[in-house]
């Protein structure tokens, strides 16, 4: 399947990703998943807007990681730097590149292997930071590469580093 065909799928209430040309239906998330994503988005968006850093996208936005075969991922939260938006514009379809930051919330029904595959897909496509939020362990994993991984407990502070300069959030507030 192509990215264009993905965009033409009738709205049936599900979200889809295109994984190496294969359509993958994503299960609806549970309420706590949405709550966690909302807390992080609620912290990230004002900082990004106040500092004109770029744009934040929620789980409705797809990002193209590769085109042959088509590979489109949909993070729970995505961030694109202002210079990339200025270079590309604001397409009325899928974002044509990976996000600079992808944030994934692990739901109880998610398999760790599937989430890890998604993390590595982002990193290999050029995403500079991937954050995985795990409600069961109340931790945040920050990936900069396959081997540069930091695990933050509730006592830790999530930090946007050079990807989202100046943004930080206590991990304890994410799982409130």
Task: List pLDDT tens digits, range 89-135.
Answer: 988 888 999 999 999 999 777 788 888 999 999 999 999 999 999 98
Quick check: 25 and 4 in contact, CB under 8 A?
no
Residue 153 has pLDDT above 80, yes or no: yes
pTM: 0.90
Quick check: 72 and 63 in contact, CB under 8 A?
yes
Strands (E), the chain: 15-19, 22-26, 54-58, 63-67, 70-73, 77-81, 101-106, 129-134, 139-143, 149-152, 157-159, 168-170
Cα 131 from chain centre: 8
Sign, CA dihedral 43-45-51-53, equals positive
**Local confidence band at 28 (pLDDT 50, 70, 90 cut-offs):** low
Domains of the chain are: 29-174 (3.90.1570.10)
Quick check: 49 and 34 in contact, CB under 8 A?
no
Residue range 11-29: mean pLDDT, rounded: 75
Q: What number of other Cβ atoms are within 10 A of residue 110's Cβ?
A: 18
54 to 43, 86, 137, 155, 172: CA distances (angstroms): 14, 9, 31, 29, 26
Quick check: 94 and 7 in contact, CB under 8 A?
yes
pLDDT of residue 176: 80
How many residues would you count in the chain?
Answer: 176
pLDDT of residue 173: 95
């Amino acid at each position: 399947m192509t990215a264009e065909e993905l965009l033409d799928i009738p709205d049936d209430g599900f979200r889809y990703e295109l994984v190496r040309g294969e359509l993958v239906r994503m299960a609806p998330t549970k309420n706590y998943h949405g709550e966690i994503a909302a807390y992080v988005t609620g912290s990230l968006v004002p900082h990004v807007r106040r500092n004109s850093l770029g744009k934040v996208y929620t789980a409705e936005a797809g990002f193209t990681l590769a085109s042959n075969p088509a590979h489109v991922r949909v993070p729970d939260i995505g961030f694109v730097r202002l210079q990339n938006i200025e270079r590309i514009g604001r397409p009325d379809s899928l974002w044509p590149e990976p996000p600079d930051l992808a944030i994934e919330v692990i739901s109880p029904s998610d398999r760790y292997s599937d989430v890890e595959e998604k993390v590595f897909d982002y990193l290999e496509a050029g995403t500079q930071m991937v954050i995985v939020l795990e409600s069961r362990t109340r931790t945040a994993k920050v990936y900069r590469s396959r081997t540069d991984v930091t695990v933050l407990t509730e006592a830790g502070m999530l930090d946007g580093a050079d990807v989202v300069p100046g943004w930080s959030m206590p991990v304890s507030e994410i799982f409130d």
